[in-house]
Amino acid sequence: MPNVYIINRASHDYTEAEKYGNIVYLSEGSINRYATNKIYRQFNEILKDSSPDDYILLTGLTVMTSIACSIFAVKHGRLNLLIFRPNTFTYAERRLIIGETE
């Protein structure tokens, strides 16, 4: 079963995301958005065991989401996203294959 990497453990209900895989939190609590190297090291350590079938759930600070997605894309050459749909309390699944750019 894939993992669903959630950027930050917050008070949100992620029950619906469990349909896509095991929940793994990349961080918890308040994070200094300017400590990008620290965020990178922390996320990289957790994502080192990720697989190409796993997901990144978009939530949390933009800088943290950017770092997590970058690590995943470089590692796997793809990006699997879960995007929250607030009107239905569900997630949209999107997969991108990352190739060379010109």
What was the pLDDT predicted at 102?
Answer: 63
Residue 51's Cβ-side half-sphere holds a number of Cα atoms within 13 Å equal to: 7
The pLDDT value recorded for residue 100 is: 66
| Helices 36-47/62-76 angle, 10° precision | 40
Higher per-residue confidence, 92 vs 29: 92
CB 68 within 8 A of CB 43: yes
Per-chain mean pLDDT for the chain: 94
27/10 Cα distance (integer angstroms): 9
User: Token pair for residue 101?
Assistant: 């750019």
pLDDT in tens, 34-65: 999 999 999 999 999 999 999 999 988 899 99
Ranges of beta strands (E only) in the chain are: 3-6, 22-25, 55-57, 78-85, 90-97
Q: Tens digit of pLDDT for each residue in 88-97?
A: 999 999 999 9
The token pair at 74 is 């470089």
Cβ neighbour number for residue 72 with a 10 Å cutoff: 23
Read off the pLDDT band of 67 (50, 70, 90): very high
